[in-house]
Amino acid sequence: MSHFSIRCRNCGKVLEHSYCAFCEHCADSLLVTDYSARFSEQGGEGVWRFNWLPVHSPIVAQPGPVVYRSVGLAVHLGLENLYIAFNGYWPEKGAGLQTCTFKEFEAAVVLQNARENRIEGLIVASAGNTARAFAHLSALSGYPAVIIVPRMCLPEMWYLKHSTGVPTIAVADGDYSDSIDVARRIARVTGFPFEGGVKNIAKRDGLGLV
């Protein structure tokens, strides 16, 4: 039995398939995840220690957020109990996000959710950090992803060396919204679904870890 269900906020319908970004009845509605238990840590490692994620059996380790008590900044600001949440790469603090972005959280949860629901691959639109995170985890996990980005963003983009082979298409003229449009078109041709952006419940719940 699953520890979560997916509900349309507009019509209230509970969806049968857990990999969903859109309600079959309400085109512009935002789906939400209802969890059966209160939020808690359940003994896993990294992001997988949190129970409010729409996955069941993660197969790829994923570092999570690091929270530590500030010393220098706290003194400078005159505060006694200042805690800092760090989402990046700082091994000395136990922070292991190799792409240096919290977008790894969303990518890890989205790819695992899709894998568990037997989705064979995803089409992802991005303007930068999301592309790097999905490329990294696609290469690491062996889960197929095709990434669409605006050409105007290429000067600011970089990939980790092991993920440079992940298919990435640059839209010659246009911005992020145009990349989304192209991603939808490619999805219709390839049979891989469009990842869904903010409408994907796995993406939003993954970002909630920040």
pLDDT along the chain (210 residues), means of 10: 89 78 80 93 90 94 95 95 96 96 97 94 95 98 97 93 96 93 95 91 93
Which pLDDT belongs to residue 18?
60
Residues of the chain with CATH 3.40.50.1100: 101-203
pLDDT at 36: 93
Q: Exposure string (b/e) for 46-80, b if CB count within 10 Å is 16 or more?
A: bbbebbbbbbeebeeebbbbbeeeeeeeeeeeeee
pLDDT on residue 181: 96
Q: Under a CB-based contact definition with an 8 Å cutoff, are residues 180 and 197 in contact?
A: yes
Q: Which residues are CB-neighbours of 178 under 8 A, at least 6 positions away?
A: 150, 171
pTM over 0.85: yes
Predicted local confidence at residue 54, as pLDDT: 94
**Structural fold of domain 101-203:** Rossmann fold (3.40.50)
